[in-house]
Amino acid sequence: MTAKRPRRSLLIVFTLVLILGAILLSLATRLTPHIRDGAVALLSERFASEVDLASLQISVFPRPEIAGTGLTLHHKGRRDVPPLIRLESYSASAGLWGFLSSPLRLKTVTLERLEITIPPGGMTGVVPSAAAPEAPATATETRPDATRPSPMVIDELTSRAARLEIVPRDPGKQPRVFDIHDLIMRGLGDAGGASFEASLTNPKPRGEITTRGTFGPWEADDPRRTPLSGEYAFNAANLDTIKGISGILSSLGTYKGVLERVEVMGETNTPDFSVDIAGQPTPLTTRFHAVVDGTTGDTWLERVEARIAETQILARGAVVRAQDVKGRQTSLDVTIENGRIEDVLRLAVKSAAPLLTGRMAMHAKFMLPAGDRDVIEKLELSGDFRLDEARFSNVNIQQRINTLSQRGQGDQTAADGPSVVSRLSGVFTLRDGVLAFSELSFGVPGAVVQIAGTYDVKRELLDFRGHLLLDATLAETTTGWKAVAARAAQPLFRREGGGSKLPIRISGPKEKPAFGLDVQRTLQR
């Protein structure tokens, strides 16, 4: 009798389990179309999209879960552009009442092979010239759905491999692609937006970005107006992926705004920055305030403070999509107030010893067009500069200038005293790797040199022509029979107001240029 009781109890329990299983199976069967229809409706409403859902299954034991495959959202029903969101598979868990509540509340959601495509849009078009464009003003309009409650809330969403594409306006251009790793979002659908953590690979310069912040609430009518804010770290970015420069960059900063207008403030540090043509690593640090169009990648640099060794460079401008050329063009207004010319020359000249040293002031327009050429070949510069307390590091050049100064004052003794300080100023342009100077002049006591010409940066060749203006007459610069001959030739080189004016030429390799009288122009006179 007693043995039959446990058997009877087990039978009762087994029967109850079967009954409960049948109830749960029936409940899952009944809930599946309800949840499916509700999920499609809320996704369609929240993302202003047409939803395709390949499969959805519900299980309620041992806990309520949803799983499915083939979720696709076409933004505003458009089939002529890539889907806004595409998922290979997904799963979610929730309490039973979470499935039945309004809004639908899910505890966890796991996404596999998430693809997000931001449709064409953005703030402005192509920047046509080197002039630094103005960033668009901050939008203050409040969207009608900004305060609309979300029909679904997710406590935690996880995606281990996601892909973000930003589609350009021009269908002939390739989209910007970001691979996002380990994305975690919490409170997705809450009125205040979701918190998130993520890491992603930046394509160019290539490097890893880690970030955390808040995203949303989602703007269904216009995804570009979805707010976001946070902080980032950009580590070990390899500048070698940009043709013509090299170095390893790191950056820290913060950002806030909406997808189409994100304000970014940060700092960068590149301890080994170099331009390939010079190959001289030098420390480069920057502090910047920028506005980024997250839908196009166009960037407006409101203020950049860069430092190369002892020289501070101030700049503002833009990095925007180019027309009919792969990549982006950079246009900047650049100012140096009290820098060092030797710091700047380290970026452009191979020689360890710079051609010049001295204090420098410069104002320039900087244009780096898009394209796959070396930086030095496509870089365009135009502006003016002034050097104070300048000296030529080449001993032969400086000795010649010292001699020039003494002879210009009528002093015929050997130039073995201290180096003469030169004052240089001029107007310059750089195009196709050739630096052209006009209105270039430098003065030393007793003489002024006024020349114009070019310096071929890649071949390191000089070709300048101009005039040497001396305070002294030719006869006062020499002695003996040379003085007699000089006195006879003086009418050919008479300078208005007194002294001498000689046509000169400076040409040849940078390391050993030739200085001399321009004979052809002399004979023409």
- pLDDT tens, position by position, 244-277: 678 898 999 999 998 778 899 999 999 988 877 7
- The Cα 69–Cα 67 span in angstroms is 7
Torsion of the alpha carbons at 74, 76, 77 and 81, rounded to the nearest 10? -60
Average pLDDT across the chain, whole number:
75
pLDDT band at 361 (very low <50, low <70, confident <90, very high): very high
Amino acid at 91: S
**In this predicted model, which residue has the larger pLDDT, 484 or 257?**
257
Amino acid at 433: G
Residue 142 burial class via C-beta count within 10 angstroms: exposed 0-12, middle 13-18, buried 19 and up: exposed
Predicted structure pTM score: 0.69
With beta carbons less than 8 A apart as the criterion, state whether 199 and 214 touch. Answer: no
**In this predicted model, which residue has the larger pLDDT, 103 or 239?**
239
- The Cα 274–Cα 245 span in angstroms is 6
- The Cα 398–Cα 404 span in angstroms is 10
**In this predicted model, which residue has the larger pLDDT, 43 or 93?**
93
Share of the chain above pLDDT 90, in %: 11
Q: Which of 78-82, 197-201, 294-298, 322-326 has the highest mean pLDDT?
A: 197-201
What does the pLDDT read at residue 184?
Answer: 92
Q: Which of 174-178, 259-263, 518-522 has the highest mean pLDDT?
A: 259-263
Torsion of the alpha carbons at 257, 85, 321 and 289, rounded to the nearest 10? 20
- pLDDT tens, position by position, 399-448: 666 666 665 556 656 555 555 556 788 898 888 888 888 878 877 777 78
Give the DSSP letter string of 6-66. HHHHHHHHHHHHHHHHHHHHHHHHHHHHHHHHHHHHHHHHHTTEEEEEEEEEEE-SSS-EE
Q: Could you tell me which residues come within 8 angstroms of residue 137 by beta carbon, excluding any fewer than 6 positions away?
A: none
With beta carbons less than 8 A apart as the criterion, state whether 428 and 381 touch. Answer: yes
pLDDT band at 397 (very low <50, low <70, confident <90, very high): low
Q: Which of 125-129, 162-166, 282-286 has the highest mean pLDDT?
A: 282-286
Q: Which helix (H) or strand (E) holds 375?
A: helix 375-378
What does the pLDDT read at residue 170?
Answer: 61
What does the pLDDT read at residue 430?
Answer: 85
- Of 93-107, 216-230, 325-339, the least confident: 93-107
- The Cα 382–Cα 334 span in angstroms is 10
pLDDT band at 127 (very low <50, low <70, confident <90, very high): very low
pLDDT band at 230 (very low <50, low <70, confident <90, very high): very high
Torsion of the alpha carbons at 85, 192, 196 and 63, rounded to the nearest 10? -80
Closest CA to 430 of 344, 525, 508: 344
Q: What are the residue ranges spanned by the domains of the chain?
A: 394-524
- Burial letters 81-109, b for 16+ CB under 10 A, else e: ebbbbbbeebebbbeeebbeeeebbbeeb
- Of 88-92, 199-203, 297-301, 319-323, the least confident: 319-323
What does the pLDDT read at residue 264?
Answer: 92
pLDDT band at 367 (very low <50, low <70, confident <90, very high): confident
- pLDDT tens, position by position, 376-393: 778 888 999 888 877 766
Three-state SS for 435? strand
pLDDT band at 166 (very low <50, low <70, confident <90, very high): confident
- Of 64-68, 215-219, 300-304, 394-398, the least confident: 394-398
- pLDDT tens, position by position, 11-34: 544 444 444 444 444 444 545 565
pLDDT band at 87 (very low <50, low <70, confident <90, very high): confident
* CA-to-CA dists, residue 297 to 167, 175, 347, angstroms: 10, 10, 27
Three-state SS for 206? strand
Does the pLDDT of residue 47 top 70, yes or no?
Answer: yes
With beta carbons less than 8 A apart as the criterion, state whether 435 and 458 touch. Answer: no
- pLDDT tens, position by position, 54-86: 887 777 666 777 888 888 888 777 777 778 888
Stretch 463-468: mean pLDDT, rounded? Answer: 86
